[in-house]
Amino acid sequence: MTEKHAITLNVNGRDYTISVEPRRTLADAVRDDCGLTGTHLGCEHGVCGACTIIVGGKPVRSCLMFAVQAAGEKIRTVEGLAKGEELHPLQKAFWENHGLQCGFCTPGFLMLAAGALEENPDLDEAELRELLSSNLCRCTGYQNIIKAVRAAAVEMRACQPSANP
């Protein structure tokens, strides 16, 4: 047990002031201190991607960052994707394309795709496959996941000005 640091995490636009040991990972802080349990832990060594969230605009493994590192950064988790009742295009697409079964890997895939597509809405098929190879799913065989992301990408492009007009 070490001295706790009082930090403020800005998650989904809201400030959470928490007191954590330095060794508390960002994943654990988001889940336990902020009460946002949509982000999941599947391996705690950065391989499975279930913990993927967006920090400073980039999808990252929250199990490989300490909460104290994320103070002052804009953090987004799956709970922040929907706008009230209205699902994010990715959430809608996963639902409509049966892109989830047990749902455990889903938040990680949603944030991975959201972050990457926000940075580059024009990912082609090969780039999408490469991106999605970042995370593991044990239920779906991935087929409907990429189908969902593809569908969402189309809708997100329609709402966003393309990088290359």
Partner 1 sequence: MKPAPFAYVRPASRAEAVGLLAEHGDDGKVLAGGQSLVAAMNFRLARPGVLIDINGVRDLDFLRAEDRWLRIGALTRHAAFHKEVIGGPLGALLGKVVRHIAHYPIRQRGTFTGSLAHADPASEWCLVATTLGAQMHVAGPAGERVCAAGDFFKGTFTTALGSRDLLTEVRLPVLGENWRSGFYEFSRRAGDFALAMALAALRIEGGLIREARLGVGGVSDRALRLSSLEAELVGKAPQPQLFADIAEAARAQIKPSADIHASPAYRSDLIRTVVKRALAQAAA
Partner 2 sequence: MSWIGRPHLRLEDPALVRGQGHYVADLARGAAVVKFVRSPVAAGRILGIEKPDHGLVFTASDLAGLKPIRPILHRPDYVPVDYPVLAAERVMFTGQAVAMVVDEDAHAAEDLAEQVFIDIDAEDPVVNFETALGPDAPRVHAHAPGNVLVEGRMRTPGLDAALSEAAEVVSLKLRSARQSAMPLEGRGGVCRFDAVTGRVTLSASVQMPHMLRTGICDVMGIAESDLRVIAPDVGGGFGQKMSLFPEYVALVWLARHLRRDVAWIEDRRENFLASAHSRDQAFEVKGAFSRDGVLLGLDADLLSNVGAFSCYPVTCGVEPLMALAELPGPYKVREYGARSRGVTTNTCMMAPYRGVARPMLTFTMERMMDVAAARLGIDPVEIRRRNLIETFPHRSPTGLVYDEGSYKEAMEVAVKALDIPSFRKRQAAARAEGRYLGVGFSVFSERTGYGTPAYAARGMDIVPGYEVVACAMDPSGFVEARIGSSPHGQGLKTALAQLIADELGVEPAKVRVISGDTDATPYGWGTFASRSMVIAGGACKLAAGKIATRLKIIAAAMLETRPDDIELSDGLARAINTNRTLPIPELARAAYHQSHKFPEAGPGLSDSATYDPPGTFSNACHACVVEVDIETGGVTIERFVVAEDAGILINPMIVDGQIHGGVAQGIANALFEELVYDETGNLLTVSLADYLPPTIAEMPTIEIEHLVTLSDATITKAKGVGEGGTIGAPAAVINAVCDALKPFGVEIFEIPATPQRIRDLIRASGQPS
Give contact residues for partner 1 (rule: CB under 8 A): 1-3, 5, 21-23, 25, 28, 44-46, 49, 52, 58-61, 63-66, 68-69, 112, 116, 130-131, 133-135
Q: How far is the CB of 98 from partner 2 (least distance, A)?
A: 5
Q: Which residues pair with 162 in a beta bridge?
A: none
Q: Which does 52 bind (CB under 5 to 8 A by kind): partner 2, partner 1, none?
A: partner 1
The set of residues, in sequence order, having a beta carbon less than 8 Å from that of 74 and lying 6+ positions away, is: 10, 55, 56, 57
Longest dimension (CA), the chain: 54
Q: Is beta strand 74-76 parallel, antiparallel or unpaired with respect to 52-55?
A: antiparallel
Site residues (CB under 8 A) for partner 2, limited to 102-141 = 102-107, 110, 129-130, 132-141
> With binding defined as CB under 8 A, does residue 23 bind partner 2?
yes
Of the candidate residues 7, 18, 26, 40, the single one contacting partner 2 (CB under 8 A): 40
Antiparallel, parallel or unpaired: β 14-20 and 5-11: antiparallel
